[in-house]
Amino acid sequence: MAEPAREHLPEQDPGKSLLADFTLRESSLSEREQQMLALERQWWKYAGAKEQAIRDLFDLSATHYYQLLNALIDREDALAHDPMLVKRLRRLRTSRHRARTARRLGSDA
């Protein structure tokens, strides 16, 4: 059987797996949580590719994955593990929240 969703994964060296550059660090984060952060470091070329990778790697729906990710990026140990990534994810979340609020209120805030 062919590997699922390989055509949707970001371009990389053929000999490397999606999370090959990921190394477990001494951390209070679980291996799965560290893998989630590693996945968030990836850039996606095709629409839907990230969601397919989430299903393939974690066996989660995208909705459940993002619920877990939002809880994860609020944790101080996640911030200590990868400060730049976690701060970027927090900024993006805040930006999306502000855009939703502005649409609900009918303003351009």
- Residue-wise pLDDT tens digits, 21-51: 444 556 799 999 999 999 999 998 998 999 9
3-state SS of the chain is CCCCCHHHCCCCCCCCCCCCCCCCCCCCCCHHHHHHHHHHCCCCCCCCHHHHHHHHHHCCCHHHHHHHHHHHHCCHHHHHHCHHHHHHHHHHHHHHHHHHHHHHHCCCC
| Model pLDDT, residue 8 | 53
Q: What is the mean pLDDT of the chain?
A: 83
| Model pLDDT, residue 39 | 96
- Residue-wise pLDDT tens digits, 72-81: 999 999 999 9
pLDDT band at 61 (very low <50, low <70, confident <90, very high): very high
